[in-house]
């Protein structure tokens, strides 16, 4: 038996030792030999114990030691994997535990001594707990002060107290001639003791242990008095205590709240629980492989949450094995109780088994979100010397009791409550396994895809992301380094808004986020290669490179022209919607995220916002362009040539006209009075259809995040107040597509940012062919609008407009495009500048459109 456990643990050790080399894709065999330290410590300790008990306890139960030792070894290795420092300490604790085991093994009438001096043990336990009130500390420096410090070691008295209390209760009940539920003789004295211990723990805010005691007490009362009905006290008590605690203690309230809904507050209290579930999901059926997962993302994975580490790295198979090992231990323990010669032995063995079972259920249930989280340890596995040594000594007691068996069968009446408790425990374990399976399968995809899952950052270090290119091959984002230290480097930091960042602490944005599947090697890579990488390395394969439609010459010019002004530019191909330049200022440098994050967060000018796509600006006087088509369609007489005298020139459009000093077209320069007049005489039904067709009420289908579209206006609303059109909020990207529709014979394309990706075979595969186009106007209507907006000197059309952001900050619009006389690719542009700068907008627009002819 023990040999099989040795082999299993050796294999686990060897797999852990290979993990680092695997992660780095090492060609040669790379072994991290330090994993053999805990293994050897375990082997030595276990074999010495085994040799001694073989001699001293020949008739012991054969299953207790292998299962308990197996669990302890698994724990030591897993702790080492999470933190070699704590792993070393745990190994030392284990050896110390084995030493104490051997010493206690030599006390032949140990059980009798325990029974005789029951009050001494009880008092000892209570004094230890009491001491924590006076000289208690917390190794982390803050939080509950549940530890006692002896030199450089910390012990947690509530751990031995659990065992001491079980010994006391077993001895007390065994002394009773016939334990029954009579208030005075049995319930009262024990209740006082348990209640006192419970109160001490509640005062210490160690509520997990307190509730554990109470349930343990009820279970022991049930088997000693042979009253099955007492089991109903547990759910009743739990409910009562939970409800009272919910309102009385903040700790309980938070715990219960996050238990009921762990996803509400994942950045705060529920972070741990959310991470725990994600870790379990990441493990799936067979796990990521020992040492290959990222279980350290779960806070305190070494102690309270060690189960999630096993769940991640060994998967459902691993956690089921742990549950089975614990269950075997518990059931063997209860069997020992049933065949014990003395009643004290019976109650003690039962108490210890129930203690193992309850601790496991409490903490695993808490880890998986089945129960409110209580900070009890997982027997044998969790980091913690007090807990490990207590458990080792409990095993010694079980072994000792198992040698003193009675050959006779015990009556059904006595056996029945043990059966019930066993069935309830086994049922709870089963429920835990099923829920674990649910997290690891049906819920897996959803959990892994959650924003709280930071594992992608680890993948990025070990397996390169795809790089990002501009259309003519300039590298926009590069990957530097080798496996284990890959890093992204943005060559064109002014494009950071669009390219986005992928920072372990701050997450992902822009294209890095939206093109994650391609860049990270999930999409476009054959399924079997992906599977192979996951199985072997727990990493996705190298990501695929993508190419954007961006033209760097135009992009650089756009950035230069916009300069320090707040605003955005989108320049696109009017026919295909391909975006040649996209600028959003102010921007940031994605390469320096770690240094600038704090200041970015404090800035009021929102540098992280991509104004080109996420900006939400009021349409303002540009509304006139959108209404103009419907005006012509309804054959309304509206002579622009003569209109100039009729309309008041507001300062904005007047200045724009002055700068251009060409045609005095009040419509082209976005005078408020013109916009109001046009909106006022337009047929609302036609206008509504046009606004809809221009895509003002729908988010553009783009590779990066876009602004929430404005709610659609109804015909009735437009009929009542046509000026509402001026308040519609749009992004520069949407307006670029409006300009594209006017330029491109009335047909609006969908914008396209990503051009293609590089397949693993080395071909550029075009993305997004066959995107939908929407016909807004007939070609003749589009031509007519263009004609009224065309430049007097160049082969372009344009219109400026202005609006007030939030009714106070000025905003200047510019949209434009090429006219049919233009010989090259038709272009469309939209510019938004968050100031009163029509001259600047005109300069940028006209310069960019003209520059495009040469690029």
Partner 1 sequence: MNAMTGLVLRILLFISLYAFLGVAVWLLWKSVTGARLRGGTIAIPILTLATTIDSEQIIQSYTSSDVLIGRNPDCDLVLVDETVSGRHGRLTYHLNQWWYEDLKSTNGSWLDDLKIEEPIVVKDNDSIYCGDAVLKIYIKPLK
Binding site for partner 1 (CB under 8 A): 1, 4-5, 7-8, 11-12, 14-15, 18-19, 21-22, 25-30, 63, 66-67, 70, 177-178, 180, 182, 286-287, 289-290, 292, 314, 317-318, 321, 324-325, 328, 331-332, 335, 406-409, 411-415, 535-537
Q: Do 35 and 20 form a contact (C-beta atoms < 8 A)?
A: no
Nearer to partner 1, 116 or 182 (CB): 182
Nearer to partner 1, 241 or 321 (CB): 321
The angle at the Cα of 257, spanning 253 to 263, to the nearest 5 degrees, equals 150
Map residue 571 onto helix, strand or coil. Answer: strand
CB of 612 to partner 1, least distance (A): 43
CB of 371 to partner 1, least distance (A): 25
CB of 692 to partner 1, least distance (A): 55
Q: Do 812 and 617 form a contact (C-beta atoms < 8 A)?
A: no
Map residue 487 onto helix, strand or coil. Answer: strand
CA 700 remoteness from chain centre = 28
CB of 178 to partner 1, least distance (A): 5
- Paired sense of beta strands 475-480 and 487-490, if any: antiparallel
CB of 411 to partner 1, least distance (A): 4
CB of 287 to partner 1, least distance (A): 8
Q: Do 615 and 731 form a contact (C-beta atoms < 8 A)?
A: yes
CA 254 remoteness from chain centre = 20
Strands (E), 684-808: 729-730, 747-748, 754-758, 764-766, 774-775, 796-805
The angle at the Cα of 575, spanning 570 to 577, to the nearest 5 degrees, equals 40
CB of 292 to partner 1, least distance (A): 8
CB of 328 to partner 1, least distance (A): 5
CB of 29 to partner 1, least distance (A): 5
CB of 414 to partner 1, least distance (A): 8
CB of 545 to partner 1, least distance (A): 24
Q: How far apart are CA 456 and CA 463, in angstroms?
A: 10
Pick from 311, 322, 307, 295: nearest CA to 383 = 307
Nearer to partner 1, 177 or 451 (CB): 177
Nearer to partner 1, 306 or 785 (CB): 306
Nearer to partner 1, 415 or 503 (CB): 415
Nearer to partner 1, 208 or 315 (CB): 315
Q: How far apart are CA 87 and CA 38, in angstroms?
A: 7
The 10 Å Cβ neighbour count of residue 274 is 23
CB of 188 to partner 1, least distance (A): 15
**Run of H or E including 585:** strand 579-585
Query: Tokens for 404?
Result: 């003193």
Please tell me whether the peptide bond between 586 and the residue prior to it is cis, using omega within 30 degrees of 0.
yes
Nearer to partner 1, 203 or 324 (CB): 324
Query: Tokens for 516?
Result: 């994650």
| Half-sphere CA count of 689, side-chain side, radius 13 A | 12
Nearer to partner 1, 290 or 607 (CB): 290
CB of 117 to partner 1, least distance (A): 20
Map residue 322 onto helix, strand or coil. Answer: helix
Query: Tokens for 312?
Result: 């991640």
Map residue 502 onto helix, strand or coil. Answer: strand
CB of 736 to partner 1, least distance (A): 48
CB of 333 to partner 1, least distance (A): 12
Q: How far apart are CA 375 and CA 362, in angstroms?
A: 9
Nearer to partner 1, 268 or 411 (CB): 411
Nearer to partner 1, 182 or 714 (CB): 182
C-alpha distance from residue 411 to each of 127, 180, 392, 414, 416 (Å): 40, 17, 31, 6, 9
Nearer to partner 1, 59 or 658 (CB): 59
Map residue 832 onto helix, strand or coil. Answer: strand
Nearer to partner 1, 434 or 451 (CB): 434
Largest interatomic CA distance in the chain = 117
Map residue 180 onto helix, strand or coil. Answer: coil
Nearer to partner 1, 113 or 423 (CB): 423
Q: How far apart are CA 123 and CA 423, in angstroms?
A: 34
Nearer to partner 1, 28 or 661 (CB): 28
Q: Do 519 and 513 form a contact (C-beta atoms < 8 A)?
A: no
Q: Do 204 and 129 form a contact (C-beta atoms < 8 A)?
A: yes
Tell me the DSSP string of 637-683. ---HHHHHHHSPPPHHHHHHHHHH-S---TTTTT-HHHHHHHHHHS-
Nearer to partner 1, 411 or 442 (CB): 411
Q: Do 427 and 508 form a contact (C-beta atoms < 8 A)?
A: no
Nearer to partner 1, 79 or 631 (CB): 79
Dihedral of CA atoms 728, 828, 499, 446 in degrees, nearest 10, equals 50
Pick from 509, 511, 449: nearest CA to 477 = 511
**Phi-psi label, residue 127: left if phi above 0, alpha if psi -120 to 50, beta otherwise:** alpha
CB of 224 to partner 1, least distance (A): 13
Nearer to partner 1, 421 or 550 (CB): 421
Q: Do 4 and 68 form a contact (C-beta atoms < 8 A)?
A: no
Q: Do 817 and 796 form a contact (C-beta atoms < 8 A)?
A: yes
Q: How far apart are CA 714 and CA 709, in angstroms?
A: 15
Judged on CB neighbours under 10 Å (0-12, 13-18, 19+), 181 is middle
Nearer to partner 1, 478 or 534 (CB): 534
CB of 525 to partner 1, least distance (A): 17
CB of 177 to partner 1, least distance (A): 5
């Amino acid at each position: 038996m023990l040999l099989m456990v040795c082999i299993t643990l050796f294999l686990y050790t060897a797999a852990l030792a290979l993990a680092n080399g695997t992660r780095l894709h090492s060609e040669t065999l790379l072994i991290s030999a330090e994993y053999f330290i805990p293994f050897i410590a375990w082997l030595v300790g276990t074999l010495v114990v085994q040799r001694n008990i073989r001699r001293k306890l020949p008739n012991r139960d054969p299953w207790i030691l292998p299962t308990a030792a197996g669990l302890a070894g698994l724990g030591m290795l897993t702790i080492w994997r999470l933190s070699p420092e704590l792993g070393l300490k745990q190994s030392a604790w284990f050896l110390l535990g084995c030493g104490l085991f051997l010493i206690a093994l030599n006390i032949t009438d140990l059980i009798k001594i325990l029974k005789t001096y029951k009050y001494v043990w009880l008092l000892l336990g209570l004094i230890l707990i009491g001491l924590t009130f006076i000289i208690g500390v917390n190794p982390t420096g803050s939080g509950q002060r549940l530890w006692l410090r002896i030199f450089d070691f910390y012990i947690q008295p509530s751990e031995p107290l659990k065992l001491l209390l079980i010994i006391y209760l077993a001895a007390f009940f065994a002394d009773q001639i016939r334990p029954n539920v009579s208030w005075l003789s049995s319930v009262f004295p024990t209740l006082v003791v348990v209640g006192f211990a419970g109160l001490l723990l509640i005062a210490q805010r160690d509520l997990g242990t307190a509730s554990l005691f109470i349930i343990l007490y009820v279970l022991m009362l049930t088997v000693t008095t042979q009253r099955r009905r007492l089991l109903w006290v547990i759910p009743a008590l739990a409910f009562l205590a939970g409800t009272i605690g919910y309102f009385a203690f903040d700790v309980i309230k938070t715990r219960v709240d996050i238990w009921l809904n762990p996803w509400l507050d994942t950045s705060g209290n529920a972070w741990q629980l959310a991470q725990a579930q994600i870790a379990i999901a990441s493990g799936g059926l067979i796990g990521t492989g020992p040492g290959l997962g990222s279980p350290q993302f779960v806070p305190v994975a070494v102690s309270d949450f060690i189960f999630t580490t096993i769940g991640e790295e060994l998967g459902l198979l691993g956690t089921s094995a742990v549950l089975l090992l614990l269950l075997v231990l518990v059931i063997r323990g209860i069997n020992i109780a049933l065949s014990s010669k003395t009643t004290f032995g019976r109650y003690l063995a039962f108490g210890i088994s129930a203690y193992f079972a309850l601790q496991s259920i409490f903490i695993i249930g808490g880890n998986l979100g089945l129960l409110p989280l209580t900070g009890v340890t997982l027997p044998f596995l969790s980091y913690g010397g007090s807990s490990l040594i207590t458990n080792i000594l409990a095993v010694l007691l079980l072994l000792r009791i198992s040698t003193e068996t009675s050959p006779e069968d015990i009556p059904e009446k006595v056996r029945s409550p043990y059966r019930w408790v066993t069935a309830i425990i086994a049922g709870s374990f089963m429920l835990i396994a099923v829920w674990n399976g649910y997290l690891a399968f049906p819920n897996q995809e959803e959990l892994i895809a959650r924003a709280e899952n930071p594992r992608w950052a680890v993948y990025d270090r070990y397996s390169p992301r795809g790089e990002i290119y501009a259309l003519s091959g300039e590298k926009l984002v590069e990957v530097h380094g080798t496996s284990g230290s890959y890093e992204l480097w943005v060559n064109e930091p002014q494009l950071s808004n669009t390219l986005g960042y992928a920072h372990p602490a701050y997450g992902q944005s822009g294209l890095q986020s939206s093109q994650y599947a391609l860049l990270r090697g999930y999409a476009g890579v054959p399924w079997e290669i992906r599977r192979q990488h996951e199985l072997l390395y727990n990493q996705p394969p190298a990501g695929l490179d993508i190419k954007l439609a961006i033209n760097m010459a135009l992009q650089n010019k756009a950035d230069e022209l916009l300069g320090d002004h707040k605003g955005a530019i989108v320049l696109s191909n009017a026919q295909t919607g391909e975006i040649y330049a996209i600028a959003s200022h102010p921007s940031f440098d994605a390469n320096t995220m770690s240094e600038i994050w704090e200041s970015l967060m404090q800035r009021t000018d929102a540098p992280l916002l991509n104004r080109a796509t996420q900006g939400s600006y009021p349409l303002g006087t540009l509304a006139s362009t959108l209404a103009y088509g419907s005006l012509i369609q309804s054959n309304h007489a509206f002579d622009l040539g003569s209109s100039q005298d009729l309309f008041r020139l507001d300062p904005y459009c007047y200045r724009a006209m002055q700068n251009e000093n060409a045609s005095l077209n009040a419509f082209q320069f976005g005078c408020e009075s013109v916009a109001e007049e046009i909106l006022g005489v337009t047929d609302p039904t036609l206008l509504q259809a046009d606004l809809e067709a221009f895509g003002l009420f729908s988010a553009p289908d783009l590779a990066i995040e876009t602004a929430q579209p404005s709610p659609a206006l109804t015909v009735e609303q437009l009929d009542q107040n046509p000026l509402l059109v001026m308040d519609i909020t749009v992004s520069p990207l949407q307006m670029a597509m409006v300009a594209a529709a006017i330029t491109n014979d009335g047909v609006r394309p969908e914008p396209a940012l990503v051009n293609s990706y590089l397949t693993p075979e080395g071909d550029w595969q075009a993305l997004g062919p066959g995107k939908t186009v929407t016909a807004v106007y007939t070609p003749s209507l589009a031509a007519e609008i263009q004609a009224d907006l065309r430049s007097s000197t160049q082969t372009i059309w344009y219109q400026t407009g202005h609006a007030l952001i939030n009714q106070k900050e000025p905003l200047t619009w510019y949209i434009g495009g090429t006219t049919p006389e233009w010989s090259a690719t038709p272009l469309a542009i939209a510019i938004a500048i968050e100031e009163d700068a029509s001259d600047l907008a005109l300069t940028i627009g006209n310069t960019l459109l003209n520059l495009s002819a040469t690029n």
